[in-house]
Amino acid sequence: MYEERELPFALEDNGCIVFDEGFIVTDEIVEASSLMFETPLLKPYVSKFTTSKNKNITLANVFKLCVLLDCSPNDLFNWDEWSDRAMGFTKKNIKITNDEIKKMI
């Protein structure tokens, strides 16, 4: 069973990740990443991801972030909001365009 735990961050409605006070996101994540992974996460990439400016994220990098932050992909993304917005399109019988997906994420 999934155990509830305190994460070192919160996900805001706008998609930005807000870390607990004292957690230096890019430095700590990048340093840990370089110790754990053959291809570590780079500081500019982590910075863009945590400010919701990176719209292209690979599954490998989602995996790395989840390992480093001890969280699940559900903790990193606002699925409820995405689902609600997507259902709004389908209820109107409108196909969701790639441009709309980019706006959602």
Residue 88 counted as domain residue: no
Structural domain contains residue 85 = no
Sign of CA dihedral 98, 73, 75, 32: negative
Which one-letter DSSP state was computed for residue 40? P
**Does residue 42 form part of some domain?**
yes
The Cα 53–Cα 75 span in angstroms is 17
Q: How far apart are CA 105 and CA 72, in angstroms?
A: 18
Residue 92 lies in a domain: no
Is residue 24 a part of any domain in this protein?
yes
Q: Is residue 91 part of a domain?
A: no
Residue 83, number of CB atoms within 10 A of its CB: 10
Q: Is 2 inside any structural domain?
A: no
pLDDT recorded at residue 7 = 59
Task: Round to whole Å and give the CA distance between 47 and 79.
Answer: 21
Residue 3, in any domain of the structure: no
Local confidence pLDDT in tens for the 105 residues of the chain: 445 556 566 666 665 666 666 555 667 788 888 888 999 988 888 777 766 666 677 889 889 988 888 888 877 777 777 788 888 887 888 888 888 777 776
The count of domains in the chain is 1
Domain that holds residue 40: 9-77
Q: Which residue has the tokens 């969701």?
A: 96
SS3 76: helix
What pLDDT shows up at residue 37? Answer: 92
